Amino acid sequence: MLDEVHESEYLTAVSAARFLNYGTRSLHKWRKQGLECVKIGNFVRYPKSGLLEFMQRHRQNGKPQEVAEQKQDISEQKGGVE
């Protein structure tokens, strides 16, 4: 039963990044910003519920806040507003 919980609830960094369609570097950065994880020794696991909650908290106009900010920066550099 513990194996079932582990497989369904907690993801490795690679699996979590794939689940969110982001890179593992983003996960590492987001951990510093409060992304929930479980760390035992060198092993880090991300609960699916924590990943979804983090993304919901950081959404802006239906997109993750970081992506929205990057698009705004690019638009401002071009001299326009999207």
Q: What is the pLDDT of residues 12-62, one digit of tens each?
A: 999 999 999 999 999 999 999 889 999 999 999 999 999 999 988 887 665
Q: How many Å apart are CA 37 and CA 51, to the nearest integer?
A: 9
Claim: this prediction has a pTM higher than 0.75: no
Query: What is the pLDDT, as a whole number, of residue 15?
Result: 94
CATH code at 40?
1.10.10.10
Q: How many domains does the chain have?
A: 1
Tokens of residue 56, six digits = 């919901």
Neighbours of 30 (CB within 10 A): 22
Name the residue range of residue 27's domain. Answer: 2-78
Locate tokens 């369609």: which residue? 21
Q: Count how many Cα atoms sit within 13 Å of the Cα of residue 32 in the half-sphere of its side chain.
A: 4
In eight-state DSSP terms, residue 62 is T
pLDDT of residue 70: 52
